[in-house]
Structure 1
Amino acid sequence: MFLIVLGIIVFAAAFSLKKSNTPFAQFAGGIRILGIVLVLLGFFTACVKQINAGEVGVKSLFGKVQNDVLYSGLNVVNPLMEVSKMDVRTQNYTMSAVHNEGDQVGDDAIRALTADGLEVVIDLTVLYRVLSTEAPNIVRETGLDYKEKIVRPLTRTKIRDNAVYYSAVDLYSTKRDEFQARIYKSIEESFKQRGLVLEQLLVRNISLPAMVKTSIEEKIKAEQDAQKMEFVLQKEKQEAERKRVEAQGIADYQRIMSSGLTDKQLQYEQIQVMKGLVTSPNSKVIVMGNGKTPVILNGDK
């Protein structure tokens, strides 16, 4: 549009210059051609709009938003149309307590009250995208700053509205996944009504008050100590059972030996021992005494 206006001005200036009696009147023809070229170039650039991949174009004519959208590529439009480009790819909005980690500078985490009246600090990332067919409605009803007008306030409100159904300890431990699923469903419905698609909701961190966190850590430590003691007791019981079985085995062996050995059996065992001594390379002479026990002489080679 700017080139069209500029071309018209140049063309009008050339027409006025031709009527004047100045030495520059001879250049009026060339200036007039330049004005025509600028008008044609401006008309061409105003008629052809390039939409990049991952974007859609929303048309408006004198402030009235058109319902159809322009998709990626070159599009021919009315030169009087104003085209606003909107990103329809996946976008993220992070609210974090860490400086410069989120979209807002500084501490932007969500502070919410739980069912037991304690305040928790929640770091959250929202993954969403604009629904292409709803882009004109977003421009018409909200504007291009939908991230600050819809995504941020709606998410923070839904987090606070749903946190009151859980205790601080539950949010920190057992009910975290349930809480995330609950707020996802709530935010998804609200986004859908405004032309946005919620893809994923990531609860990055939930911070508890210091006193609550300390009590939880002490409870976890006590549970770990109890489990350790239970393991030690179980091990001691197993060791006691092993010793009992071993003692029972020794007692059974002694009982069997005392009831089953006879004089002839003992004499046979003695002969077997003497036979082993005779054949042993470490003994040369065996002297039999009056007793039943042999005496070994010269035991070294």
Structure 2
Amino acid sequence: MKKEQKRKILFYGILAGALLLFAACAAHLAPYDPYEQNLELSLLPPSAAHWMGTDRYGRDLFSRILSGARVSIFSALLVVAASALIGTLAGIFSGWLEGKTDTVLMQISDIFLAFPGMVFAIAFSGVLQSGMTGAVVSLILVSWPKYARLARNRVLALKHMPFIAAARLTGNGTWKMIGRHILPNLAGQTIVTAVLDIGTMMLEIAGLSFLGLGAEAPSAEWGAMMSNGRSMLQTAPWVILAPGLAIFLTVLVCNLLGEAVRKTVDQG
């Protein structure tokens, strides 16, 4: 069973790595300039020349999908990495120090967790009004509490265990105990949560852009592309289906990878 899970992780990891490679090399892989407009080529259906067709401005959709991968994927990775880092550090100190520090941090996290994250993200993005940067910051602000809760609960369980007491007796300071004993025991659950969160963050970034609170024109972000093409669903469906398919496949790969990692960690 473990070998099967490892094979799945390897397979989905290769797919995820390929997506990252495509995103990183989008400028070199795109057959056309993703921002070059040519109204004579407006709304062409998929063909050998334009694999995914063109949009209302005659821009090649395949080139824009590749260019948008860099924005969508790396923005989601940035949100997850920052949320995991901030939340884990907050949770460690909350659980380790307890007392007033724990009370204040957990009450703050309770406020964020009391409402759907997307609602808070929309509110923050609307206040910030700074395009993609605002969307990323908003999602970080609403995503860190779950990592803080996860880390805090784990720290509270670990800090009273015999090996921590033994580490104290040997003269290890707080930072050394956290680095040597706490963080390694948090890593598994945090990584699983983070990997599973990538797809969610990608959907939420696309959602904010779809609502006009994320990427701004002419940025080739997948959610913004879907928003711009929603009025042409019946007349030129490829304009909205192309970025929708890109989001679906990317989120699917991320979720399958996260699920494989979770099962492997659960099996020890």
Q: Same fold (TM over 0.5)?
A: no
Query: Which one has the largest radius of gyration?
Result: 1
TM-score under structure 1 normalisation? 0.24
Q: Which of the two has greater strand per residue?
A: 1
